[in-house]
Structure 1
Amino acid sequence: MVTVIVLILSGVCFFTYAIYSLEKSLKGNGGVEGSAENPLGAGDTERYENGLRVTVSEPRLEPDGTTHRFTVTYENESDRTLTALPMGAGRVPLVVNDGEPLDHDDPDDSSSSYTIDLEETVRKLLTRLDAGDSITVPVRVVGSKEGMTITVKVWMPFEGYRYDHPVYWTLTLD
C-alpha cells in the first residue's frame, strides 16, 4: 500500500514538473511571446527568471512632428546583483530597425535614423545591475513616417538566463 502511494505521489510530482518545464520553455527568450514571430508591443514587459524586467515604452511624437522618442528600461527586481554577460562578436544589447522582425525582403530606405547612445548603453549594460536598481536607455527615431512600424530587439545582457535569443518588440509610430 505504501509503495502504491509513493508511486502515485512520484507520478504527480513528475507530471507537475513536466508542465512547469513546458511553461518555462514557452516563456520569454526563444519562447512564444517576445519571439520574432510573436513580438511584444509598446508598454509590454519581458520578465526573466533572474529577476530582470525589460520594458519598452510607448513612442511619443516630438513637437517637430518627425521625431519619436521611447525608452527601454531594465529593472532588477531580484534581491541580488546581476552581473553582465560578455557580448558575442557583433552583438549589441539593443538594436532598432525599420519594419517587422521577420521583414527581411523590404530593404531599409534610410528614411529614418535612430539615435541610441550605444557607447553609454553598452557601458551601463555591461557592468552590473544592483538589486532594486534600474537603467533607462532613451531612443530617438528621426525622420519617421506616421504609421511606420519599427522593431526593437533586446539581448539579455545579464547572467542567470539563456542568452541564445533576443526578445522583440514592435512599435507603431503615430
Structure 2
Amino acid sequence: MACMDVDVVSDGGPTAKGSTGFAGCAVALVLFVVLMAGVAWVLDELVKGLDGYGQLEQTGTGASGSVVEPYGPGASARYEDGLKITVSRPHEESDGTYRFTVTYDNDTGEELLLGGEPTGGADPALEVREGEPLDDDYSHDYFLTWLNEQECAAALTAPLGEGETRSVPVHVEPSRKGIPVTVEVEPADDDFRETAYFLLSLERPGRYRTFA
C-alpha cells in the first residue's frame, strides 16, 4: 500500500508537507484492517457452519473435553453456537456424600432443549458414573450411587431460554473416597451436539486431585 506526500500551503501559514498523504494512509489502513476482520469472521462462520455449531471449541488448555482428554472440575465446555456447560468441584458433606453442580449458560441466541432424546439416539442428556470415561465396563472394586438422578433429569426437561442460566445440583455417594467419577453431558439437539466429558475425583478436603 503506497501513499504519496502532498504539500499543503495554508494562507499566510507554513507548509504542511505530507499531512494529507498521512491522513489518507491512516484511513486506508483502518479500512483494510476492518475488511480483513470481516473476512476472517465470515471464514470462521463458514467453517463452523460446515463442522456444525454443536462442536466443542478448542481452548488450547490441554483438555478437549473428549473421552480421551476430559475436562477437569471447575472447567467449562464451550460449544461453537454459544452454549457453555460448567461442572463445579465436588464438595464433601458431613455424611460422606458429595455434591457438585452442572451449570448451563445459553448464549446461542435461541431457546434450547437440554433434556430429552438427542436425534438418532436415546442417551441421557446428563450421566454421572464411577470410573474414567474410557472405561468400557463396570467391573470396578468400587461403585457410585447417584442419589438424585430423577431430580436432575426433571431439572433438564424445561427449555432453557436465550441468555438464561440453569444450575443442576448433583448429589452422589461413593463406596469409598478417592474414586474417579465421569460426568457425561450431551444436551438434546435437532441436528448434532458433541458429547462433553468431565473427570472428577472424590477426595477428602485438602487432598483434592484431578485426572488430566
- Aligned Cα root-mean-square deviation (Å): 3.3
**Structure 1 gaps, min length 5:** 1-12
Which range moved further: 50-59 or 140-149? 140-149
Which residue of 174, 187, 200 corresponds with 1:156?
A: 187
Name the residue aligned to 2:16.
none
- Structure 2 SS opposite 1:75: strand
Name the residue aligned to 1:102.
134
> Is 1:49 matched with 2:80?
yes
In 2 relative to 1, CA 158–128 (structure 1 residues): closer, same or farther, beyond 3 Å?
farther
In 2 relative to 1, CA 134–63 (structure 1 residues): closer, same or farther, beyond 3 Å?
same
Which residue of 133, 142, 148 corresponds with 1:116?
A: 148
Which residue of 28, 51, 61 corresponds with 2:56?
A: 28
Name the residue aligned to 2:200.
171
Output the CA distance in 2 between the equivalents of 1:92 and 1:105.
Answer: 18
Shift of 1:72: 0.6
Q: TM-score, normalised by structure 1?
A: 0.72
Output the CA distance in 2 between the equivalents of 1:99 and 1:157.
Answer: 24
Tell me if the contact between 1:67 and 1:144 (Cα under 8 Å) persists in the aligned partners.
no
Where in structure 2 are the equivalents of 1:42-81 lying within 5 Å? 42-64=73-95, 66-81=96-111
Output the CA distance in 1 between the equivalents of 2:198 and 2:157.
Answer: 21
Output the CA distance in 1 between the equivalents of 2:81 and 2:165.
Answer: 14
1:34-61 deviations in Å (ceiling 9; x for gaps): 1101000100101112221100000011
Output the CA distance in 2 between the equivalents of 1:148 and 1:45.
Answer: 22
Q: 1:141 corresponds to which letter in structure 2?
A: V
Output the CA distance in 2 between the equivalents of 1:83 and 1:75.
Answer: 12
Question: Identity over the aligned pairs, expressed in percent?
Answer: 33
- More strand by proportion, 1 or 2? 1
- Structure 2 SS opposite 1:72: strand
Output the CA distance in 1 between the equivalents of 2:108 and 2:122.
Answer: 29
Shift of 1:96: 0.9
Shift of 1:105: 4.6
1:106-145 deviations in Å (ceiling 9; x for gaps): 5144643112343x43344233111221121111121342
Where in structure 2 are the equivalents of 1:8-19 lying within 5 Å? 17=43
- Structure 1 SS opposite 2:102: strand
Tell me if the contact between 2:56 and 2:80 (Cα under 8 Å) persists in the aligned partners.
no
Name the residue aligned to 1:3.
none
Q: 1:143 corresponds to which letter in structure 2?
A: P
Tell me if the contact between 1:92 and 1:155 (Cα under 8 Å) persists in the aligned partners.
yes
